[in-house]
Amino acid sequence: MSRIGKKAVQVPAGVTASVNGQVVSVKGPKGELKVVLNDQVLAKLEPGGIKVDPKDKSKLARSSWGMSRTLVANLVTGVTVGYSKSLEISGVGYRAALNGKVLQLNLGYSHDVAFNVPAGIEIKVPKPTEIVISGIDKQRVGQIAAEIREYRGPEPYKGKGVKYTGEYIFRKEGKKK
C-alpha cells in the first residue's frame, strides 16, 4: 500500500478543485493548473479533499498511485503558495542582469548569454550573483532553473559556474608539482 497515496489532498479555503474523469483542475489565488492523471488511478472529490485510488490491484496501478497523488498535491501548493528555486553564480566576472523579459548572463564566454523568460515564470536578480526563479508550476520552475544552470554548470576544481543555492559541489584536487 502506498503511504503517500492513502492520504487525501486537502483543499484549503479560497481554492476550488474539480475532477472531470482523469483531469484534475485546481484554481486558486495565484492562478489555475490542471493535470491529466494516469489511466491506472481514479480521482474523487470528497469533503476531506481530493482522494486518489488505484483502479485495481495490479502492480502498475499501485506504482502510479503515490505519484498521481503527489502531482495533485503539487497543483494545490502551486496555486496557493507557489514554488521558487534560487541559483548562485560564482566566478570572477560572472554575473546576471535582468533587462525586461530577458535574463543577461555573463558566464565567461566571449558573448553574453540571453535567456528569454517564458510566460508564467518570474525571474528576479536581487544581487548580480543570485537568480530567483518562481512560478506556480513546480515542473516548469525546476526545468527553467536547470536550463539556466546548464549554460555553465559548476566545475569541480574551482567551483566556478551556476549552481543551486545550498548545492554541494564535490571538489577535486588539482595537479601537483
Is the pLDDT at 26 greater than 90, yes or no?
yes
* Model pLDDT for residues 105-157, shown as the tens digit of each residue: 999 999 999 999 999 999 999 999 999 999 999 999 999 999 999 999 999 99
What single letter denotes the amino acid at residue 111?
H
Chain mean pLDDT for the chain: 92
Tell me which of 3 and 169 has the higher pLDDT: 169
pLDDT value for 93 = 92
83-90 and 161-164 as β-strands: parallel, antiparallel, unpaired? Answer: antiparallel
Is the pLDDT at 1 greater than 70, yes or no?
no
Is the pLDDT at 27 greater than 80, yes or no?
yes
Q: Write out the residue limits of the CATH 3.90.930.12 domain(s) in the chain.
A: 3-80, 83-164
Is residue 5 within 8 Å of residue 65, measured between CB atoms? Answer: yes
Question: Sorting pLDDT into bands at 50, 70 and 90, what band is 81?
Answer: very high
pLDDT value for 75 = 93
pLDDT value for 5 = 84
**3-80, superfamily in CATH?**
Ribosomal protein L6 (3.90.930.12)
pLDDT value for 48 = 81
Is residue 154 within 8 Å of residue 168, measured between CB atoms? Answer: no
Is the pLDDT at 176 greater than 90, yes or no?
no
Interval 77-103 mean pLDDT: 94
**83-164, superfamily in CATH?**
Ribosomal protein L6 (3.90.930.12)
**What's the Cα-to-Cα distance from 63 to each of 56, 86, 138, rounded to whole Å?**
11, 32, 21
- Backbone φ, ψ for residue 63 (5° rounding): -75, -25
